[in-house]
Amino acid sequence: MRYAVSLLMLMFFLAWFCTPVSAQKDPQNLISGNFQNLTIAQFADEVESQTNYYFYYDSAALDSVSITITADRQSLPALLDRIFAGTTYNYAIDRHLRVFLTRGVAIQTNFGITPAPGTLQAEQRSLNATEVDKTSDEPSHLKYALLENKLYQIGQNTANNGLPTAIINGYVRDIKTGEPVIGASIYIDKPHIGVASDQYGYYTISLPKGRHVLNIQSIGMKDTRRQIQLEGDGKLNIDLQNQVMMLKNVIVSAQKLSNVKGMEMGVQKLDIKTIKQVPVAFGEADLLRVVLTLPGVKSVGEASTGLNVRGGSADQNLILFNEATIFNPSHFFGLFSAFNPEVVKDVELYKSSIPARYGGRLSSVLDINSREGNKRNITGSAGIGLLTTRLDIEGPIVKDKTSFILGGRTTYANWLLNLLPEQYKNSRASFYDLNLNIAHEINKKNNLYLTAYTSHDKFNLNSDTTYGYGNLNFSLRWKHVFNDKFYGVFTTGYDRYQYEISSDQNPVNAYKLNFDINQLYLKANFSYYVSASHSLEFGFNTINYKLDPGSYQPVGKSSLVVPDVVEAEHAQESGLYLSDKYTITPGFSIEGGIRYSLFNYLGPQTVNEYAPGLPKTEDNIIGTQTYGKNAFIKNYGGLEYRASAKYEFSDNFSVKAGFNTQRQYINVLSNTTAIAPTDIWKLSDPNIKPQEGQQLSLGLYHNFKNNTIETSVEVYYKKIENYLDYKSGAQLVLNHHIETDVVETKGRAYGIEFLIKKPTGKLNGWISYTYSRILLKQDDPNAGELINGGKEYPANYDEPNSATAVVNYRVNHRFSLSVNATYSTGRPITLPVGLFYYDNSYRTLYAGRNAYRIPDYFRTDFAMNIDGNHRVHQKTHNSWTIGVYNVTGRHNPYSVYYVSENGAVNGYKLSIFGSAIPYINYNIRF
């Protein structure tokens, strides 16, 4: 490239110095080597180093060339013949050993001289055929406009396999940071063919051969296009520019991948920009809180980030952070979610058609993707709020190849605790989380991604007991592109969640209680793009569990605590799946998936055996069976089905239907309403059957105004088997026969969800309304006590009516307003039906589980985002977020309870936030 000269100059120059080429056979100028994926510049360097040749070419015209060839003492013309065979590239060599590379037009190097017969063919061939892997990687220094006007040749025109179409694939990246752009829409106008980039920024599109204008759009990015001459399968990487300043609203094109066109149903995707706009308590952008505003997603109250998706319990959600399972996604008793907003890129919630690659949870998959670090510069950001502070740094390790992002958050809530009355003065609460992501591009076909995540919470609220819990996750992903149509992602990793409770105030009772769950996993997922209308996805995954259900140990010498350790549990959960997406006609497509799910409960373990047909109680234990290491104690498994279909009645109206079945082999045992940090997880075993679920759903999707307004209606019906509920007075911690304290119930859930969404524009946001029910039933007298006499009763999180509005308005480029309003029916609660007097106090008498409801919930939040100036070239960019959570100061009930105090029974309504909570956050980017 050092010798690159513009083509015109070259032509001019050539007019004067043209002599026939005669030195090709010079033994000094023979070339040897094994060239892999070289650009023309690299190839030229290589040849120049071995020979006396000198290259001249237009780098823009030849930058789509990639050279892979092996040469053993070959002459340059012979080599170039091979390289350019089947392409429109030409070469010419003059007598000064100057090599001119061009496209389309061959250069005459022998003006005025009549070529000898045969020479012409030898030297001015329009060469065809190649085994060249053509990639066009766009150098960032090239003017953007130039790229749009350039014609990219993709594939070879000779190796004509007779197919009318060819496949292009590649990565869509952010030109500034090198990060992948997820969900970018890549399409041509005529005929309408479009795809979206995946979580790695990777796309595959199949188009008719010939000349096209490829349009690329992504929210927040400048629209761009590429002119392509499609001759055969090939690669095209595309860099997008950030929309630094929006002078005018983007007119959203009809081509943006819309909910009408997409195959998925019951999928909601939020990017971090959207998440950051929504006001939340204390101002720390909170991904789970925003997910809670989506239709069909509920929680039991403000102190819980536990999601209840379409009537599922909180443990029925698979929460994946870069493929790592997060068991406890909350900080600070559930008031915050444990994800650092600066590291997260986007989040996708699958609540209906769960792809076959996911398994092991009944209700939903929450797939959280982190960003890749900036591949070009070191940058960072910091934020300061009332309770938390964070710092994030990202940048290249090897420029354009390897990047990292490191983020950390911590809290300083202790000042708040110190303001409390004296009896709480000694309380302490703290948390932190740390993220490290490394993305490495080995070469065009291989990428590595490393994710490390840890979080920890510790608190001691003036009691003598200290609580702590934490997550620890590592995952390593390798993405390998086998060929244009076929790629795979291999993931391995380790997930851990643990908690500990300790107390050492009383030396005789001083103890430490530990719980942990560990899993090692391996996943392989393959995507095979058969044709434009047909694609396959298949793979397998396996998880090895080791779970320590409880270890109770003395602390200190004078402690009399007897060590009590519940035997560790081991299991292997595996899945093998195949999913096939087929487009029958442009408007009608179907997808079918099948997953074989297998769970092996493994030894060593001692299992209680119960008399058949009798309730599982301690009295009915007829024996125990001991199994050795890795013995197969109990196997569960079976086929799971995923099916969906989409029919487009028009470009902006479609109907989708889906059916899927799921199995779940791990449950949270909790008899509290909210997920407590000290709940334990339990694997299915011979006495506790896995949960099974089926869901049938149907949706209508209609877009208006050029797809700028999306509307949808989805209905679903769900059945759940073996859902665990608890017997009266269940003892869940350190219970060596936990099966005696739980009962298996049946559940059914149904609902209808309405959503109106305006994803872009000055005014954007969404409004949703959901009507849904979840009813449980325990009517098997052999299973133990009947709950509510065997009649159906609502689950704790059954909130039939709920509505949410999230509205953002951008006043100008530096100032925007957000309002969020939420309404829901109060959740069910068991209220006393009477009183009795016992032990010198009135006490309450309960009957009828969940027969009443707490008062309805309504909350409005407000936030303002103020950005500093938008000049691109300045050291730091800063912004402020000012807002009020619960503007109306409404005392929204979290629970209603009756308690005996000093001999009398008093009823209370408990609110987590009893007033409007103002907040202010300062963020800085550098």
Q: Is residue 858 a contact point for another protein (CB under 8 A)?
A: no
Q: By C-beta, is 132 or 854 nearer to another protein?
A: 854
Residues contacting 143, CB < 8 A, separation 6+: none
CB of 458 to another protein, least distance (A): 12
Tell me the chain's radius of gyration from C-alpha atoms.
32
Residues numbered 276-305 forming contacts with another protein, rule: CB under 8 A: 281, 301, 303-304
Q: By C-beta, is 378 or 899 nearer to another protein?
A: 899
CB of 456 to another protein, least distance (A): 18
Q: Is residue 412 a contact point for another protein (CB under 8 A)?
A: no
β-pair type (238-240, 165-174)? parallel
List the Cα angle 593/596/597 in 5-degree steps.
125
Q: Is residue 74 a contact point for another protein (CB under 8 A)?
A: no
Q: Is residue 565 a contact point for another protein (CB under 8 A)?
A: no
CB of 609 to another protein, least distance (A): 23
Q: Is residue 562 a contact point for another protein (CB under 8 A)?
A: yes
Residues numbered 161-220 forming contacts with another protein, rule: CB under 8 A: none
In the set 852, 874, 876, 926, which binds another protein (CB under 8 A)? 852
- The pair of structure tokens assigned to 179 is 């990060």
In the set 37, 462, 518, 879, which binds another protein (CB under 8 A)? 462
CA distance 797 to 774: 8
Ramachandran assignment for 469, one of left (phi > 0), alpha (psi -120 to 50 degrees), beta (any other): beta
In the set 163, 508, 611, 622, which binds another protein (CB under 8 A)? 508
Burial 80-119 (b: 16+ CB within 10 A, else e): bbbbbbbbbbbbbbbeebbbbbbbeebbbbbeeeeeeeee
One character per residue 334-353, x = contact with another protein (rule: CB under 8 A): xx------------------
Q: How many residues bind another protein (CB under 8 A)?
A: 94
What does the DSSP assignment read for 173-242? EETTT--B-TT-EEEETTTTEEEE--TTSEEEEEEESEEEEEEEE-TTB--EEEEEEE-SSEE--EEE-B
In the set 533, 672, 801, 874, which binds another protein (CB under 8 A)? 672
Q: By C-beta, is 104 or 914 nearer to another protein?
A: 914
The continuous run of DSSP H or E covering 872 comes out as none
Q: Are 661 and 592 in contact (CB under 8 A)?
A: no
Among the listed residues 397, 366, 371, the one whose alpha carbon sits nearest the alpha carbon of residue 180: 371
| Binding segment toward another protein, per CB under 8 A, in 131-139, 440-448, 577-585, 841-849 | 841-849
| Binding segment toward another protein, per CB under 8 A, in 155-163, 233-241, 605-613, 827-835 | 827-835
| AA identity, residue 495 | D
Q: Which is it for the CA torsion 720, 721, 726, 732, positive or negative?
A: negative
Q: Is residue 459 a contact point for another protein (CB under 8 A)?
A: yes
CB of 818 to another protein, least distance (A): 22
Q: Is residue 556 a contact point for another protein (CB under 8 A)?
A: no
| Binding segment toward another protein, per CB under 8 A, in 48-56, 527-535, 665-673, 817-825 | 665-673
Q: By C-beta, is 104 or 855 nearer to another protein?
A: 855
| Binding segment toward another protein, per CB under 8 A, in 311-319, 439-447, 631-639, 831-839 | 831-839
Cis peptide before 604 (omega within 30 of 0): yes
| Strand partners for 716 | 697, 751
Q: By C-beta, is 178 or 301 nearer to another protein?
A: 301
Q: By C-beta, is 228 or 417 nearer to another protein?
A: 417
Q: By C-beta, is 219 or 916 nearer to another protein?
A: 916
Q: Is residue 836 a contact point for another protein (CB under 8 A)?
A: yes
- The pair of structure tokens assigned to 480 is 């390998």
CB of 779 to another protein, least distance (A): 16
CA distance 452 to 494: 10
CA distance 52 to 94: 12
Residues numbered 755-814 forming contacts with another protein, rule: CB under 8 A: 785
In the set 578, 709, 910, 920, which binds another protein (CB under 8 A)? 910
Q: Are 889 and 915 in contact (CB under 8 A)?
A: yes
| Binding segment toward another protein, per CB under 8 A, in 105-113, 128-136, 137-145, 499-507 | 499-507
- Torsion of the alpha carbons at 846, 847, 848 and 854, rounded to the nearest 10: -20
Q: Where are the beta strands (DSSP E) in 504-533?
A: 511-531
- The pair of structure tokens assigned to 87 is 């392409």
Among the listed residues 721, 847, 853, the one whose alpha carbon sits nearest the alpha carbon of residue 786: 847
Q: Is residue 145 a contact point for another protein (CB under 8 A)?
A: no
CB of 671 to another protein, least distance (A): 5
Residues numbered 867-896 forming contacts with another protein, rule: CB under 8 A: 891, 894-896
Q: Is residue 382 a contact point for another protein (CB under 8 A)?
A: no
In the set 160, 446, 483, 915, which binds another protein (CB under 8 A)? 915
In the set 567, 801, 909, 926, which binds another protein (CB under 8 A)? 909
Residues numbered 318-337 forming contacts with another protein, rule: CB under 8 A: 333-335
CB of 775 to another protein, least distance (A): 17
How distant, in Å, are the alpha carbons of 166, 242, 642, 801 from that of 752?
A: 42, 38, 20, 10
